[in-house]
Chains A and B, each alone.
Chain A
Amino acid sequence: MAGLKTQNAITLKGSTKLVTEFFNYGINSILYQRGIYPPESFTRVQDYGLTLLVSTDEQLKEYINNVITQIREWLMNMTVQKLVVVVKSVHTNEVMERWQFDIECDKTVTADTKRNKSEKEIKEGIKSVIRQITASVTFLPLLETACSFDILVYTDKDLDVPESWGESGPHFVVNSEEVRLRSFTTTIHKVDAMVTYKKTD
């Protein structure tokens, strides 16, 4: 019976795990929904009570894994402020879309802190955000050119980053329209989602 008992307390480690999991699915969903990678290179996965699409492209998987592992570390350190998925045109290098995930970290939390919030409740929040990402295709303009993507991470200024990481510009969208999406919180990390896209004339 003990095994059936749902977890009502969440730790920093658990929160980090949930948030990184969300980022993985979120990035994959964006890439699929926006047609940045061919749909046949995605496979179906069941999670949060949703059918999610995850890429099978080895290079892409490796890249996302690299980013996610680094973000996991920074989430544990509470040094990450934002994660941005930038969709750029390959031909003109123009920023077409900008999916921004603001991360608010509760810096009072330590490794031993436990907060009362059930995993189910958090996953419900994540589910609603992912659903909104999926639904946002309806209002976002069609990407007519071949596009690629980049993942930016806003971190604290004094943070030392690994060699494989370099500083970047903010990649603003020129002549943009902004839409705020839902947010979810684990009580340790709060993630606000929003999308900025190029206004069509």
Chain B
Amino acid sequence: MDDETMDNTAVIRMKRELDAYLSDPASIVTNVFRESRPRTSLFFQNDLTKTPDVVDPRRERFDNIGSNKRDKDEMICAKPFTLNTSDLEIKRVRLDLEKEVEILKEEKRVLAEKYTGLQIKLKFVCENEESLKEQLKVTESDFANYKSSQEEKLRLGQRTRWRLEDALKESSRKISDQNLKINELQQLQSNRPNVEAVAAQRQLEIHRDQLKIMSSQIEELEKFKDQALQGEVKIRELENQLAKHEDELLITRVCKSKLDTVPELEKQRDRLIEENNELKVNERNFMKLEEEFEGLQKKLARSEERVHELNQLDIDNEEMRQIKQRCKLCGSSETQSRASMLKQISDLKATHLKQLEEQGELSSRLRRSENQLLEFQTKYQTTQEKLNSTNTNCQKQADFIKRLQKKLLLTTKEKEGYKRIIESYESEVTLNVANPGIDRAQQLEDIVQSYKRHCETLETENNQQLEQIADLKQKCQHHQSGDTMSMIEIPNVSKTSDLDVIAELKEKIINLETLLKQTQTEKYNLECIIEQSHLQGNYDPTKTKIVHFTMNPAAKAQQQREQDLEALRSENEKLRGRINILENTKGECVEDLTLRVEEKLQNPSPNKQVEDMKAQVRKEELRNRRLMEAFKKTSQEFRNVCCQLLGYKIDITGNSQYRLTSVYSESVHDHLIFQQSSAGDIQLMDTEFSQTVQDLIDIYLVKQDSVPAFLSSVCLDLFGRQTMNLG
């Protein structure tokens, strides 16, 4: 029983150990496996170095465990009925573990290869690093050398500078010493008392100080002078620019003045056009006058004829006077009585009158004869025409007669021929057949007779016409003789006067010709002027207009020029401002000159602003005053007109109360007061006067509610009273 218990306890212990082993190594293996897998290649370097050490003890452990296991198996085999299942499991696990071990071995080999590769790389990198380090060392040493050399140079420079500064100080000291020595020498030379020397020294020191100050001032002054010179140069430039601007301004003024002359020129042009029109009108008038002149010339000719006649009458009169004088002489010689003289005079007057009548008759006869002459001439012409026509008719008729005679001959021959034919027929044909031939012959004979008659009548007509022609010829001859007679008579009468007239007319013609030439030259000149004006581009503004493209190059150029001018003006203004500033500062240095100028231009001086404002205020006040005056005037007029038209003077007493005083009121206190309510209604207020017209109030205001009617009635009432009073 004890063995069994021992065995049992041993078995149990072994089982426990196995369990422990089973639970433990599996976990170890899996852990190792798990840990080795996810690691990166970098960590492998370390792990690879370690893993063999780690794996080997494990193997030993495994081997140990295996041997233990075998021992135990042997022991277990003694008791197979208990350990069958576990043995199988162990075998399986072992196989798995062996497989895993193989895999791990392969991995280890791969990793070892990688490790060697990496080690080679590392070596290469290390070599590179070393070479680079060497290079770095070299460059560092170079840099240190360079730095040291530079520092040495710097030090040398500094030393030279110090040396130079020292030398400068020494030289200045020397100068001052020399100055002192000079002063001392001067003092020695002067041999003055020490006090004076001290004083002089002090003065000298003061002077030196002053000198220093002065020298510094001189330097400053030199600087200022330079600045001033620069400023002067600038000023000159500006002055030049200013002069240019002034010139340009002059040019623009000239342009302006020329532009101002343009309206005058236009006026002149208009005047010229008017003059031209007037000239045209004058030309027309001249033509009319010429016509009138011709008419008047004709009139003149007529009147001259009359004058000539009057002259003749005067001559007759003179003759009559001579006769009268002779008669008078006769009367004086015979000493006839006055009555007889008077009689004679009356007789003479009568005879004079008769003679005048005769003269009149003669003149009328002359005219008549002239008229007759004209008539005769016309008649003569007509008769001549008739004669010609009759002559032609005669010729025609003669031709006709000849033709007829020829026809007659032909017909007679025909007749004879027919007669012969008839005779032959008669001889050949029987009596019965001859009848139509006889009829025909008779007919033909009739025709011949009619022809003969016709010829006769024509001959008679011809004769008649010949007679007529003869008559006409006679008449013509008579007329011609008459004409020649009258022609001979008339020239005799008016030969002398005509010559004068002709001479006058010739003169006139000459004058007219000269006038004509003058007018022709004038016309030519006018045509030339018209042509010239046409060439110059003149036109009739009533029919034609001139248009152009508004954005034409000339306009554009002008616009551009104006812009340039404006820019120049503004620049000029700026430059002036600049000059002013420069003048005000009197050569002092001015900073931000352009800024100040622009400021000045943008903000004109406050005084100017105030003045502008004042001027504006003044203007506004003046306007206000004028408006008030105008308003007062119009309101006064309006009130006056209202008063005159409606008969009430309306005054505003305040609080929308209106006082109405009639023009017909008996006293100044007779007035009505109306008040306008806020609603716009008008109400009559109680006054002394309103109480006197209570009846009218009742009628018109209370009953009718009409203020105008009430006022009219009051007005009429007062008017009635006044007229009553007047009456």
Contact = CB atoms under 8 A, between A and B. Distances in A.
A154 B269 contact: no
Interface in A157-188: 157, 159, 161, 164-174, 176, 178, 180
A60 B546 contact: no
Nearest to A176: B536
Interface stretch (A15-23, A79-87, A114-122, A126-134): A79-87
B551 interface: yes
A181 to B, nearest CB: 11
A93 B532 contact: no
Nearest to B534: A102
Give the size range of A's interface with the partner. Answer: 35 or more
A155 B547 contact: yes
A168 B251 contact: no
Given A88-B554, A93-B558, A164-B550, A178 B536 contact: yes
B542 A165 contact: no
Contact of B535 (A70, A91, A180): A180
Contact of B532 (A88, A154, A161, A178): A178
A76 interface: no
Contact of A168 (B258, B546, B557): B546
A90 B557 contact: yes
A164 B561 CA distance: 22
B553 A63 contact: yes
B81 interface: no
B338 interface: no
B37 interface: no
A100 interface: yes
Contact of B265 (A84, A157, A159, A174): A174
A84 B537 contact: yes
Contacts of B545: 154-157, 159, 167
A167 B547 contact: yes
A199 to B, nearest CB: 12
Q: Which label, helix, strand, loop or mixed, suits the secondary structure of the B interface?
A: helix
B548 A196 contact: no
Nearest to B259: A93
Contacts of A94: 258
A128 to B, nearest CB: 19
Nearest to B535: A178
B539 A170 contact: yes
B604 to A, nearest CB: 32
A189 interface: no
Q: Which of A67, A154, A176 has the most CB of B within 10 A?
A: A154
B554 A86 contact: yes
A167 B546 contact: yes
Contact of A153 (B258, B547, B561): B547
B552 interface: yes
A98 interface: yes
Contacts of A151: 548-549, 552
B537 A60 contact: no
A157 B546 contact: no
Contacts of B550: 164-166
Contacts of B537: 82, 84, 98, 100, 170-172, 196
A148 interface: yes
B544 interface: yes
B538 interface: yes
B563 to A, nearest CB: 13
A94 B266 CA distance: 14
Contact of A157 (B535, B544, B557): B544
B699 interface: no
Given A66-B549, A149-B552, 8 more contacts: A67-B549, A91-B251, A151-B552, A152-B548, A156-B545, A167-B546, A169-B546, A178-B532
10 contacts: A63-B551, A63-B553, A81-B539, A84-B537, A90-B557, A91-B561, A155-B547, A157-B543, A164-B549, A166-B547
Interface of B: 251, 254-255, 258-259, 265-266, 269, 532, 535-539, 542-558, 561
